[in-house]
Structure 1
Amino acid sequence: MSKITKIKIKNLFGISEYNGDGKSVELSGQNGVGKSSVIDAIRYALTNKSDRRYIVRNGETEGEILIETDSGLRINRKARTNQADYKSVKQNGHEVGSPETFLKDIFTPLQLSPVEFMDKTEKEQNAIILDMIQYDWSLQTIRDWFGEIPDWVSYDQNILQILNDIQSEKGDYYRNRQDVNRDIRNKKSFIEDIASEIPEGYDAKKWENENLGELYQKIERARKENENIEKAKRFVEQRDNKVRSFEADKEIKLSALDREFAAEKERLVKEKERLEAQLRENEIRMSGLAEKKEDKTAVIKKEYEANVAKYDSAMEEYKDIAEKDLIDFSELQEQAQQTEKMKSYLNEYKRMLDLQDEVAELTEESEEYTRKIEKARMLPGEILETATIPINGLTVKDGIPLINGLPISNLSDGEKLDLCIDVAIQKPNGLQIVLIDGVEKMSTKMREGLYKKCKDKGLQFIATRTTDEEDLTVIEL
């Protein structure tokens, strides 16, 4: 930590010459006496930048500022109108390599105007305060925590803001978990619908292995057997009818035969009267007709007997079957119907199992998102336990810094001024000076409180206050 021991300004901005030491001072006077020029010159020395269009004092060709500190640092800048500017930054008599980078590292922008912190938005204020928390991390740290580098997060923020973005409701973990949980609910609903249609205690393995074709083969064999039995019963029952049919056929044929031979006899008798010469022959034929009739009668009877014998022989074949009882295959039929019904559930049952597997996988995915979200929520507490906290009473909740439990917007003006100084001095090993331009805008109480805060922290400060005094007045504080 170093303090300024010497300030020398010549022909910069509106100053012809100013010399200061390491004391804290208030520069007062009317507008235009050079109060802000001192502040602007010091800012120019530290940053090589100025908001003013003209740096060299009007009428001069060169302006210079020299700053020396008790740590051996010497800064010398010369702004020139006719040639290149000059700069020299030495540490213990040796020129510093990359001087602008070196200077940036020994102060914070708010040191050069701490009250500007009060004019920033709450989001900007929060970001500044979170950046003050010193915690060593890298992208590998993020990967170790979450197994990946979340790609929806900006990594130019403080680690606590990054963790807040990771666990945020707007983050992919939270939104992906919502999508997964919605998918889980939908699939569970499908599972419930399927389960409501499947009988309780449904044994999918049993019904999948059940041979429905074999059952239907048994039913078909029983049906065929029954057909044979019924056919045999009908065959046996119809025997008398068939015999009567055969007998009627016989009687019809015999009757026809009688008529045939009676007519023949009549014709022959008449012919006998006409043909006496052929009487003997006709008598022989008549005697032969009786024999033929007997022969044909015998043939008809034998045909009848053969038909009856043939039918009785066929009936014997069915007799044993006809005596059997019909097979009751109603139980097999019910079993087949039940099997067919149970098998109809298999596809939906398998679909339900697949959905249950998917739900289990999605649940694991949801739990992993929850783990990462909870990890991002838990880490700030762990970080704050080990990190260097530059402000007393600073905590962080949901990525928002709190001062003694209150957000910045809830602090009083006095508390905000205290915070301004704490925020300005973020580099404990840097240059311990604060530049405060325009303190006349504050109340006396607030201004005095600000000065006291700087003194209590052992800081150098240079403040400017506009008054009615015609000349620049330097008041040591």
Structure 2
Amino acid sequence: MKIIELTAENVKRLKAVAIRPDGNLVEISGRNGQGKSSVLDAIWWALAGSSHIQAVPIRKGETEARIRLDLGELKVIRTFKKREDETFTTSIVVESQEGARFPSPQRMLDSLLGELSFDPLAFSRMDGRQQLEALKRFVPGVDFAAIEKANKADFDRRTDVNRQAKALRAQAAGIGVPAGAPAERIDETALVEEMERAGEHNADLERRKARLEQAGRDIAIIRTDANRERTLAQDLREKAEAAEARAKSQDEAADDLQRKLDQAPALPEVIDTSAVRRQIDEARKKNRAVDLREQRAAVEARAREAEETSSGLTKAIEDRTAAKREAIAKAALPVSGIAFGEDEILLNGVPFEQASSAEQLRTSVAIAIAANPKLRVIRVQDGSLLDDEAMAILAEMADAADCQVWVEVVQSGRSTAVVIEDGQVRGAVAVSAQAAE
């Protein structure tokens, strides 16, 4: 489906034009500011949704504008009306060849419209990333944005995990385990209990020894008291009997205590705790070495876990990338020899920007044609940048693909070129265009 006729009134700089294309290469020529761009914009505005229309679509001084496209099978009419606040309203009507109107005109056009806004020259001037984004639409079923988002998330996480693994490895390496450290921990409890028993035994021994020494001192005191009492008995006859009795009682107590002292068993030898203490110190030293070994093993285990996580993330990234490459390889790309690079597109194995101007033009036009499979129309702004050879390539490809290419140029040597002057079609072409209407 192509444009059979375009009419536009009061659209941007246009007053009133009626253009019936002659051939697949449609050149819109004229000086700057005369309305060439308005013709190409009118095509786009007639078909695209209102969100694509510029802020001031109505010619200065007018209150209404109208675009009519005859596509053969369909006729599209878009109208504009200016409000008092200088904004505008727009409406669209789409009719079939028989005159029936579609109830949802824009939805119908959206199903028909491809990438009419795709400008081959603009594509050739894009940077590598922008060209890559434009070409991705030819790979159905692949959500490039989702893949890139997932890969970036896994890459960032892998970076953190690798940093953590490296830190853990350094931490493990910094834990010095003494040579010959035992594999098993030594039980200090038995040694400590043995130490405690020895200490209690020695303390009890000291207490008993002190009691024995005190008993000896008590005997001496008692003996002294008895002698003093005897002396008192001699001096105090009156109290002799009482004193003698007391002396006898004291002697008996002393004799009883003496007997107990004589019968007391010999004290045992003092236990030497230095050997046990040395064993405890040695056990603690070895257990500290075991602690260091276990600590290092735990850190190394965490490092291995982090490294395994990193490997899993790497595999996820590689799997997604491989799936994307497989989908790209199976995709029907519009140009033979074109391929996806990392941040750019490739043509015959080399970056697109390194291809010749002719190769770049042919590739860009082929992509634009492939992007519009139903409505066989593409627009080319800045066509004045194309030399004769490039224009010939454009005409050749338009005919070969049976695709209508509307080109905006300042001057043209073609008799079929449409010249726009002060918002109208000028010259002999204008006469034939109006007559054809």
**What is the CA distance between 1:59 and its match in structure 2?**
8.7
- C-alpha distance in 2 between matches for 1:367 and 1:464: 55
Following the alignment from structure 1 to structure 2, what is the Cα–Cα distance between the partners of residues 200 and 455?
87
| Equivalent position to 1:471, from 403, 424, 427 | 427
Please say if 1:7 is aligned against 2:5.
Answer: yes
Amino acid at match of 2:138: I
Structure 2 distance, partners of 1:349, 1:112, is: 67
Kept after mapping to 1: 8 A contact 2:121/2:380: yes
1:449 corresponds in structure 2 to 393
What residue is the counterpart of 1:363 in the other structure?
A: 307
Which amino acid is 2:70 matched to?
I
Query: Is 1:66–2:69 an aligned residue pair?
Result: yes
Q: How does 1:325-336 map to 2 (within 5 A)?
A: 332-336=276-280
| Secondary structure of residue in 1 paired with 2:181 | coil
Counterpart CA distance in 2 for 1:17 and 1:66 is 10
Displacement after TM superposition at 1:184 (Å): 2.3
Would you say 1:213 and 2:192 are equivalent positions? yes
TM-score normalised by structure 2 residue count: 0.65
Quick one: which of 377, 398, 411 aligns to 1:433?
A: 377
Residue 127 of structure 1 pairs with residue 133 of structure 2: yes
Matched, 1:107 2:113: yes
* Partner of residue 164, structure 1: 148
Asked if structure 2 preserves the Cα contact closer than 8 Å seen for 1:26 and 1:463, the reply is yes
Q: 1:136 aligns with which of 134, 138, 141?
A: 141
Do the aligned residues in 2 keep the contact of 1:436 with 1:462 (CA within 8 Å)?
A: yes
Q: Is the 8 A contact 2:340 2:346 kept in 1?
A: yes
Q: 1:415 aligns with which of 337, 359, 363?
A: 359
Q: Indicate how the Cα distance of structure 1 residues 433 and 332 shifts in structure 2: closer, same or farther if over 3 A, else same.
A: same
Q: 1:14 to 1:397 in 2, by over 3 A?
A: same
CA offsets 1:208-233 (integer angstroms, 9 cap, x no match): x75332342465489789999xx9xx
Residues 26-52 of structure 1: CA deviation (Å, up to 9, x unaligned): 345666887555434433322366659
Partner AA of 1:126 in structure 2: L
CA deviation string 1:307-330 (max 9, x = no partner) = xx9799669x54xx89xx997876
Does the 8 Å CA contact 1:15/1:37 hold for their aligned counterparts? no
Counterpart-to-counterpart distance in 1, 2:109 and 2:39: 19
How far has the Cα of 1:96 moved from its partner?
Answer: 2.5
Match of 1:194 in 2: 175
Say if 1:36 and 1:310 are closer, same or farther in 2 by CA, change over 3 A. closer
CA contact (8 A) 2:37 2:408 kept: yes
How many residues matched? 380
Q: What does 1:267-282 correspond to in 2, within 5 Å?
A: none
CA contact 2:177–2:289 (8 Å) conserved in 1: no
Cα distance, 1:75 vs. partner?
1.9
1:44 and 1:409 map into 2 onto residues whose CA distance is 32
CA gap of 1:409–1:223, structure 2 versus 1, over 3 A, is farther
The one-letter amino acid of 1:25's match is V
Partners of 2:399 and 2:117 in 1: how far apart?
15
Tell me how far apart the structure 1 counterparts of residues 272 and 63 of structure 2 sit (CA, whole Å).
128
Corresponding residue number in structure 2 for 1:42: 43
1:120-160 residue CA offsets vs partner (Å, 9 max, x unmatched): 44433332222x233326xxxxxxxxxxxxxxxxxxxxx33
Query: Which amino acid in structure 2 is aligned with residue 186 of structure 1?
Result: A
The letter of the residue matching 1:26 is E
Label 1:8 to 1:395 Cα distance change in 2 as closer, same or farther (>3 A).
closer
1:183 matched to 2:164: yes
Offset, 1:7: 0.9
Unaligned runs of 5+ in 1: 138-158, 232-305
Contact residue 56 and residue 62 of structure 1 kept, 8 A: yes
CA 101–123 in structure 1, closer or farther in 2 if over 3 Å, else same:
farther
1:387–1:369 distance in 2 versus 1, CA, 3 Å = same
- Looking at structure 2, the residues matched to 81 and 310 of structure 1 have their Cα atoms a distance apart, in angstroms, of 136
> Superposed, which structure 2 residues align to 1:274-313 within 5 Å?
none
**Does the C-alpha gap of structure 1 residues 189 and 227 become closer, same or farther in structure 2, counting only changes over 3 Å?**
farther
Rg larger in 1 or in 2? 1
Q: TM-score, normalised by structure 1?
A: 0.61
Structure 2 residues without counterparts, runs of 5 or longer: 210-254, 414-425, 433-437
Please show how residues 234-245 of structure 1 align to structure 2 within 5 Å: none
Equivalent position amino acid for 2:427 in 1: D
Q: Matches of 1:20 and 1:373 in 2, distance apart?
A: 51
The amino acid across from 1:125 in the alignment is Q
TM-fit CA distance, 1:364: 4.0
Q: Which amino acid aligns with 1:127?
A: E
Give % identity. 19
Q: Give RMSD over aligned pairs.
A: 5.1
Aligned to 2:95: 90
Q: Give the Å deviation of 1:199.
A: 4.7
Corresponding position of 1:19: 20
> What do residues 354-380 of structure 1 show as CA deviations (whole Å, max 9, x unaligned)?
434533443343334333333343332
**Cα offsets for 1:159-179 (capped at 9, x unmatched):** 3344234334xxx43333223
Tell me, what secondary structure is at the counterpart of 2:192?
Answer: helix
> Deviation digits for residues 386-445 of structure 1, max 9, x if unmatched?
444344333334454333333343333223212322332344542111222442321222
Per-residue CA deviation, residues 57-95 of structure 1 (Å, 9 max, x unaligned), is 9899765523123xx232234557899866421345442
Q: CA deviation at 1:351?
A: 4.1
Distance 2:167 2:64 in 1: 79
Give the 3-state SS of the residue equivalent to 1:115 in structure 2. Answer: helix
Q: Is the 8 A contact 2:24 2:399 kept in 1?
A: no
- The 3 A distance-change label for structure 1 pair 226 and 397 is farther
Cα separation, 2, equivalents of 1:429 and 1:311: 126
> In 2, are the aligned partners of 1:191 and 1:352 still within 8 Å (CA)?
yes
